[in-house]
Structure 1
């Protein structure tokens, strides 16, 4: 009886390449590789790494902007049974050092953007090898030369679906990043979860989210490869170039975090760009204001909201395009093989419509945090339920709504205030460009609901006018008691507002209240 399903990354790529050998796989800065060429490059890199000591279970890192080398490193690691560790290229030297040494990386591949940072910390790293991409002045071995000098590796190290494929470090919005261990099976089931609901990607995918982020990697880059699609990779996100690429290459699918959507919608070319080729615009990472969703729907784009975390690979909920029209505030319904329930924080499910913590179970949920068994036990039960730390509720029709992060909830006068609800109202104000709601210490209320705004050019706003605007739209205790107007909101690379940074800045006695 057949008992083994080959669902590891190497087997998936082999199958894709067998069927699409001569199709365009990746286009990047004027050059295109077929699936056969891409596979050959991955195998050449794998041979180089094997010759330099990389073995099954070793950690192989990539620190750099979006580049085909990122994906080649990922699949080279898979060929060797090694574990791929993508690293945020915006990290400082000490932050980078922590992640590399925490992961115990055998080899780090880095690009020219990261060259100065890596070389400044190289003496503090545990790595046995460094390899430089697009960094001609680097004293370390050159990536392209390594590929050119080696024949493709034909032997692949066998792995199981339970073996760790990636360690992805959380973006660290609070405290030290944790390494999320995702298995080959997690990645397979994440893709199947969406594919069986509605296979929406089409023939041309644009990857403009950073690939070191779970959404950019699993929901864009790997989704394109698994389908044999032609993927256009942008080194970094640029709203104008993204719009032009959609029109020029007839892009059928792309994923953007809300901040990217906002910047594109504000670009001078947004209304004149031909976007008719797009059959799926996906967004995740944070709730999208309904007004912004409507802006894209008015341009005829099918808008899909997705919800998940690095720990869930990430799909947990999806709001299909048809449902986003009728329920734009919803995060959606559970994907096929994933269970979602709302609990009271002690594992007990709460009644429909009641707020609680979102918990997730399924084959897409991580195996744990690297080197952090205690942290793993805090969020993962023995029967597989993962506590997300997000607050939400489910309605009578099965739609789930995200209220906020548990840690971001404001308790004012004993009442729970969920920032996302207040933010959704403030986004309706004609002067508001961006908004973040948080709680600041208050002698009277415990915490004061505080609005931090970026206002549109040529407009002004006062606390009095803002409170008047909210009157009748929000309960009185939810209306902001304080207002700060700033030039920009601090965000992490996935587009999430860093509210802890705002709290630190605005808790200072010198902070100016508008």
Structure 2
């Protein structure tokens, strides 16, 4: 493990490496650009748009890229299939630059192909949460102004009871109940390959053009749409490339000169999250990395795929690493290809890292990242020796186009070691919250995005997260807005008031808990409330534990519900301490 002095020495080496990597003659050179009145560092030699990123895959044209069960698409096949779907969107549906087209599905190859098809013609992709229930889908379609929706059968089933409430055309992904109203994905691809072809290269998509709207659960009510540009996303992708190059230069002993296996990653988190879409899927075009999908998360299946597909990266929420390490199949699985085990989306308990050191070979580098939907997953990263030396940290600001500072409640910048709100500035910060100018202005001030997270920068500039200012629960990497669940609980006619909070859980990090006051004599209990909620909100948002009482919930001096006390009582009652 590195000493404090060794950490400082390595950081000085890293500083020189970063200077060289971003110099004008480097492929990863940076320059400054004024965007929306803010001067930012940006990558100077990267593709202008996502179509340029997709074309990079042609360097490994005949190698497998998208893999799902017995389905395989090479890099070239993926691009050509997506281009055919682009033709369909343009010719059949009349999609124009700036129009919104949504994708709501499990992780299937068609999800990725649809994302490519939408963004390469300048339309705005809207990756919708596949956990959403009917009313949530209606909200997302209406809020974004989505014209066309790519959806699998489960999502179509959710939409059918409310389809009269929305004006949207549906393209079916892997339908098990064919419906003439909803043409099938690959039938449309065949249509796109015929007839007069639109010149896709003639469609001008600029770096500052809008690329995606991703929904995020904040601290109040309905999810907000996060609008990002092509530059935002492309600069996020190259930030990871830059970080890899810098780490490889710092630790050349870990770089394989002639690797036995090609790079590959397991797609094990939802693609509607920036971790899945950006850090796993999109950056794979640049890394020429195989992208292997699974129907749903299962630790034993994950181990099987790592061995079978010779995958080099296991990357997901900390819960997944924990389940893999505790699987009875772990010691029976050939993990020779594995090189990186990273996590994001939630804090990793210290005990996980200790177990990782015991379980994985020395060549396997542990890692952790911190980012948000609003930052396109970029913020801070930490890997290898730095992580082992500073397990409490989530890393240094992601080089070279990101800055982090800590502010107090009055907006003063705090020195290292002092706790305040984490603020991030850089080329990957979202353009705006979709159709929410006031909330955008509150969140972004002079180019600095205010995360709502509380933390500090230590003496070496490593970020340590202390708390969340936003009232959310992170359940296995899924953000749950407490207010949204409280509103849903209070929709029941016998619920007087509700408080929702996070409870500790070894596997998921946190689970959702609640305390509610109900009408005396109603007979309302925990199980009945959970059934009621499952009909109205995504299942992962439904509290695992609900304390039901007929008296008013406890208050603090100001008259507000004493959430902290209710949480402590629940932890004690359930034996979760």
TM-score bucket (shorter structure): 0.7 to 0.9
Q: Give secondary structure in 1 for the equivalent of 2:73.
A: strand
Aligned to 2:274: 214
Can you list the C-alpha shifts for 1:185-223, whole angstroms capped at 9, x where unaligned? 111111111211215896112111110111011000111
Extract unaligned runs of 5+ from structure 2: 1-43, 249-254, 256-261, 475-481, 483-500, 508-529, 552-568
Q: Distance in 2 between the 1:407 and 1:350 partners? A: 20
How many aligned residue pairs are there? 439
1:205 aligns with 2:265: yes
Structure 1: stretches of 5+ with no match in the other structure: 410-418, 421-437, 439-449, 457-487
Whether the 8 Å CA contact 1:210–1:236 is kept in 2: the answer is no
Say whether 1:177 aligns with 2:219: no
Question: Per-residue CA shift, 1:259-301, capped at 9, x if unaligned?
Answer: 2223323322123323232211121111101111222232223
Q: 2:340 aligns with which of 262, 280, 284?
A: 280
Q: Specify the alignment match of 1:346 in structure 2.
A: 410
Matched, 1:147 2:189: yes
Distance 1:97 1:153 in 2: 32
Distance in structure 2 (CA, Å) of the matches to 1:207 and 1:373: 34
- 1:393 Cα offset (Å): 0.8
What is the correspondence of 1:207-356 to structure 2 with a 5 Å cutoff?
207-298=267-358, 299-300=360-361, 301-336=364-399, 337-356=401-420
TM alignment of 1:467-506, pairs within 5 A: 501=543, 505-506=546-547
- Structure 1 residue 506: Cα displacement: 4.1
Q: How much has 1:229 moved relative to structure 2?
A: 1.4
TM-score, normalised with respect to structure 1: 0.79
For the residues of structure 2 that align with 1:67 and 1:254, how far apart are their CA atoms?
18
> Which digits, 9 at most, give the CA deviation of each residue in 1:415-473, with x for residues without a partner?
xxxx99xxxxxxxxxxxxxxxxx9xxxxxxxxxxx9945589xxxxxxxxxxxxxxxxx
- The reply to whether residue 81 of structure 1 matches residue 122 of structure 2 is yes
Question: In structure 1, what is the equivalent of residue 37 of structure 2?
Answer: none
- Checking the alignment, whether the CA contact within 8 Å between 2:219 and 2:471 is kept in structure 1 is no
Greater than 6 Å deviation, 4+ residue runs: none
Secondary structure class of the residue paired with 2:276: helix
Report the Cα distance in structure 2 between the residues aligned to 1:262 and 1:455, rounded to whole angstroms: 9
Counterpart in the other structure of 2:112 = 71
Partner SS state of residue 357, structure 1: strand
In structure 2, do the counterparts of structure 1 residues 153 and 38 end up closer, same or farther at CA, with 3 Å as the change threshold?
A: farther
CA distance in 2 between counterparts of 1:403 and 1:221 reads 30
CA distance in 2, matches of 1:307, 1:194: 12
Q: CA deviation at 1:380?
A: 0.3
Residue aligning to 2:65: 25
- Paired with 1:285 and 1:196, the residues of 2 have a C-alpha distance of 21
Pick which of 4-13 and 103-112 moved more: 4-13
Per-residue deviation, residues 478-499 of structure 1 (Å, max 9, x unmatched): xxxxxxxxxx9x9xxxx9x96x
Distance 1:395 1:177, change over 3 A: same
8 Å contact kept, 1:46–1:153: no
Paired position in structure 1 for 2:242: 196
Is the 1:44–1:153 Cα contact (8 Å) retained in structure 2? no
1:255 alignment partner, SS class: strand
Aligned mate of 1:395, from 451, 454, 458 = 458
Q: How far 1:97 sits from its partner (Å)?
A: 0.6
Query: Distance in 1 between the 2:365 and 2:218 partners?
Result: 32
1:43–1:153 CA contact under 8 A, matched in 2: no
Instruction: Give the deviation of 1:501 after TM superposition.
Output: 4.8
Whole-angstrom CA distance in 1 between matches of 2:163 and 2:273: 24
Which of 56, 66, 70 does residue 97 from structure 2 map onto? 56
Aligned to 1:186: 232
2:406 aligned counterpart, secondary structure: strand
Contact 1:203/1:252, CA 8 A, preserved across alignment: yes
- The answer as to whether partners of 1:85 and 1:166 remain within 8 angstroms in 2 is yes
Correspondence for 1:367: 431
For residues 218-270 of structure 1, the C-alpha deviation after alignment (integer angstroms, 9 at most, x for no partner) is: 00011112222121112322111111111221111131112222332332212
Matches of 2:143 and 2:504 in 1, distance apart?
37
Relative distance call for 1:83 and 1:508 in structure 2 (3 A) is farther
Partners of 2:79 and 2:86 in 1: CA distance: 11
Structure 1 range deviating more: 343-352 or 73-82: 343-352
More deviation, 225-234/260-269: 260-269
Three-state SS of the structure 1 residue aligned to 2:120 is helix
Q: 2-side partners of 1:273 and 1:98: how far apart?
A: 44
Using the size of structure 2 for normalisation, the TM-score is 0.71
Counterpart of 1:319 in 2: which secondary structure? strand
Stretch moving more, 399-408 or 191-200: 191-200
The match for 1:482 is: none
Mapped to 1, the partners of 2:375 and 2:163 lie a distance apart of 33
C-alpha distance after superposition, 1:51-88 (max 9, x if no partner)? 11111100010111001111111111122210000111
Alpha-carbon distance change, 141 to 319 in structure 1, aligned in 2, over 3 angstroms: same
**Residue in structure 2 matched with residue 122 of structure 1 by the alignment:** 163
Q: What is the distance in 2 between the residues matched to 1:330 and 1:101? A: 40
Kept after mapping to 2: 8 A contact 1:317/1:335: yes
